[in-house]
Amino acid sequence: MGYQDIFRLDGQVALVVGGGSGIGQASAEALAAQGATVVVADLKAEAAAQTAGRIESGGGTAEAHVINLTETKAVKALIADVVQRYGRLDVAVTTPSINVRKPVLNYTEEEFDRVVSVNLKGTFNLLTEAGRVMAEQGSGSLIAFSSIRSLVVEPGQAVYAMTKAGTVQLIRGLAVELGPKGVRANAIGPGVIDTPLTAPIKNQPDWYKAYAERSILRRWGKPEEVGGVVAFLASRAASYITGTIVFVDGGWTAIDGRFTPPL
């Protein structure tokens, strides 16, 4: 294995769900930059097409699809279409999640079901369907998005945090079961990343600043800083990494407290 080539993904086919914006878009572009053919799937057709267009304008190969991860039949159909067209699936990335920020005692049943359906069922749908294909072909990399909330929780995020911890355990289970068949499974745990989904926080200066100062690096992360980790986990450079979570959080989960004592 030559070190100059181990990050390359030439000849590989990658599916990125949630690739229309934010971290998903950065992930799709990072995979394409390393030579992968990228299938960009998103709930919004225009967003998926825009990302695919950005990749192709940069010299990469991509196509766009519309998908709702909570629709099991639709996920099966998308995976089947990818395999029929390209003959394989080497990388599957799932990024979509939703968060209803409110005290857990105030959660409605509908809100609970909605968060769990997208964050857990949707993730399960993609990983298991892609995992079947990869197990049969004897290779592949499954990448799911968890969060710092899988470890630490703040008021109003109990249900979201529950789903993110569940995602990590699902990844570990898949790693255990599919590893002997040549398939790796890993999670990524972003901290606060500057994306369209976090715009409501950015619009509140005190909240935005508090989050920035909570990390060791004293700033928010950028989508491309997460996309690079996706490309790494997909590559041969990560060939001995499976069943774990990689935190991309500026040290959020390493530092204790918000007060620096006099030393």
Tell me the catalytic residues.
160
Give the bridge partners for 91, in sequence order: 14, 141
CA-CA distance, 220 to 4, in Å (whole number)?
31
Yes or no: say if 189 and 146 are a contact pair by the CB < 8 Å rule.
yes
What is the C-alpha R_g of the chain? 18
Reading the block at residue 236, the tokens are 């041969």
Looking up tokens 């229309």 gives 20
- Label residue 99 left, alpha or beta by phi (over 0 means left) and psi (-120 to 50 means alpha): beta
Q: Distance between terminal CA atoms of the chain?
A: 48
Q: Which three-class secondary structure state does DSSP give residue 103? A: coil
Query: Would you say 245 and 170 are in contact if contact means Cβ atoms under 8 Å apart?
Result: no
Q: Which residues of 145-156 are buried (b: 16+ CB within 10 A; e: fewer)?
A: bbbbbbbebeee
